[in-house]
Copies of this chain bind each other. A is one copy, B any other.
Amino acid sequence: MQTGDGSKPGSRLDQWLGSYAARTRGMTASEIRALFAVASRPEVVSLAGGMPNLAALPMDVVGKALSTLVATNGPVALQYGSGQGDPELRRRILDVMAPNRVNAHPDDIVVTTGSQQALDLVTRIFVDPGDVILAEAPSYVGALGVFRSYQADVQHVAMDAEGLIPEALQDKLIALKRAGRRAKLLYTVPNHHNPGGVTLSAERRPRILEIAQRFGVLVLEDDPYGLLGFDGDPLPSIHSYDPDGVIYLGSFSKTFAPGFRVGWAVAPHAVREKLVLASESAILCPSSFSQMAVTSYLENHDWKHQVGVFRELYRERRDAMLQALHDMLPTSSWTNPQGGFYVWVKVPEGLDTKAMLPRAVTARVAYVPGTAFYADGQGRDHMRLSYCYPSPERIREGVRRLAAVIDEELDVQTTFGATPRPDRSGPLVESPGPDLT
């Protein structure tokens, strides 16, 4: 059949080019996407991904729980379920959030297809094109993608080694107000920040919330790593200071397994109702099977002990990463993560992590360039290194390869006359900050 305008169907030309929505213009494949296909080859040490390390999971326990689930409750597990999520799982999520002092009722919880879907739904119900969302500088790449897809105006707020800086937040909100604008949301990852590797201090938490409240800004607290701190108890969530001012997002992807895609949002009553309606429109209901699989795991396994096993596994890798950086990257500086998956590295002045990436992949090491974590093109002087997945030996080997690439870049710079000046100031702030290395 011929198309109306006579163009030949079957060609790779997009005959629907004139039909896309305005929001779709912002959806473009990342330029580093193709490179990551190469980076997934086994000979490459990937310090790029955020995949949790599932080697420590007791697969026999999981397998047995699932066949029992089907045998005892198959017709429910395989059927449609509630749009808000399975009530039993919502009850159990309360226990999972207790260490982070998120006090809620099961009715306050909406189960989502990973916490990514919660990000999508929150943005969907709050953000009109052009609305301002405040986010840390840098910020989680997946959240920035969601915000862009809803045509939000993302504005970054500076962090330092103690997390988001209250004064910077207040200054930004005052400047917006003076310009006749307001922010709808403050998006923050307070614990073991992705990619920053820092944690918002206890002292700053109520201050951040107070400032947001004063300017009518809803706080979106994204907390996938809250249970993965290496030392001491978790700090109280921002949510704990006022559940009506915060939407708290949690996830089983890092403390159990991402393959079930189970996350959740805790939201003020009226907001929660809208989230459920938005989720029903998006997917009808989250997977009954996935939810009951998680419930069954929480019920039949000592999940707290398992989280402890994960913590030790990641701590060992964090140590290997920091030691390797210390030994082999004397010209760079980096954050000092106390949990989570990531370290945020500032490379010597003049280097460009985005331009350097193809050469790194050729040298069989991959990372994520800093630009991925900004909505405004910043970040060429940074990179995110993940220590969650490779073994300590592979991490060391990866940093060795990375150091060789950086040294070579510096040689080229020297040859062509630019003077590389090692800069060991705080990597998270543009102005001189604390030495974080």
Chain A residues with a Cβ under 8 A of chain B:
1-5, 9-10, 12-24, 27-29, 51-52, 54-55, 57, 59-60, 62-64, 66-67, 69-71, 74-81, 113-114, 116-117, 120, 124-128, 131, 142, 145-146, 149, 184, 206, 209-210, 213-216, 218, 241-245, 253, 257-261, 268-271, 273-274, 277-278, 280-290, 293
Contacts and interface: CB of A to CB of B under 8 A. Distances in A.
B282 A116 contact: yes
A74 B80 contact: no
Closest 5 A/B residue pairs (Cβ): A14-B270, A63-B70, A9-B244, A78-B257, A78-B259
Given A184-B19, A274-B27, A71 B59 contact: yes
A62 B78 contact: yes
A78 B63 CA distance: 11
A194 B399 CA distance: 57
A261 B277 contact: no
Contacts of A12: 269-270
A116 B28 CA distance: 23
A284 B258 CA distance: 10
Given A74-B62, A259-B288, A1 B80 contact: no
Given A4-B216, A14-B271, A80-B253, 13 more contacts: A3-B244, A4-B213, A9-B244, A10-B244, A19-B216, A20-B125, A21-B131, A51-B79, A54-B78, A81-B259, A113-B113, A113-B261, A145-B281
Contact of A282 (B3, B15, B120): B120
A1 B284 contact: no
A5 B114 contact: no
A9 B283 contact: no
20 contacts: A1-B213, A9-B244, A12-B270, A15-B268, A16-B270, A16-B271, A18-B216, A19-B184, A29-B277, A57-B74, A57-B75, A57-B78, A59-B75, A60-B71, A66-B70, A78-B258, A81-B259, A145-B281, A146-B281, A287-B290
A286 B283 CA distance: 11
A388 to B, nearest CB: 12
A287 B293 CA distance: 13
Contacts of A1: 206, 209-210, 213, 241-242, 245
A273 B19 contact: no
Nearest to A24: B125
Contact of A21 (B17, B62, B128, B287): B128
